[in-house]
Amino acid sequence: MNNQEYKAVSCSNCGSRIEKNYCPECGQFFDPKRLTAAGFFSDFVDAFFALHKSYGLNYKHLLLRPRFVVENYWNGFRNFYFSPNRMLLFTTLLIALYLYFFENTFLGINFEIESVPWLGVQFFITALFLFFFILSTMITYLRKNKNLFEHLALNAYIFSIITLIFLVLSSLLKYFYVSDFLQLMFIFCYCLWIARVFERKWWRILGMALLNSILFILITGMPTYFLINMKQ
C-alpha 114/C-alpha 67 separation (Å) is 41
Residue ranges covered by each domain of the chain: 66-231
Prediction pTM value: 0.75
Q: Average pLDDT of 152-172?
A: 91
Q: Average pLDDT of 102-119?
A: 65
Based on the number of CB atoms within 10 Å of its own CB, is 42 exposed (0-12), middle (13-18) or buried (19 or more)? exposed
For residue 16, give every residue at least 6 positions away whose Cβ sits within 8 Å of its Cβ, in sequence order, or none: 10, 23, 24, 25, 26
How many Cα atoms are found within 13 Å in the side-chain-facing hemisphere of 80? 9
% of the chain exceeding 70 in pLDDT = 71
Between 39 and 69, residue with greater pLDDT: 69
C-alpha 179/C-alpha 174 separation (Å) is 8
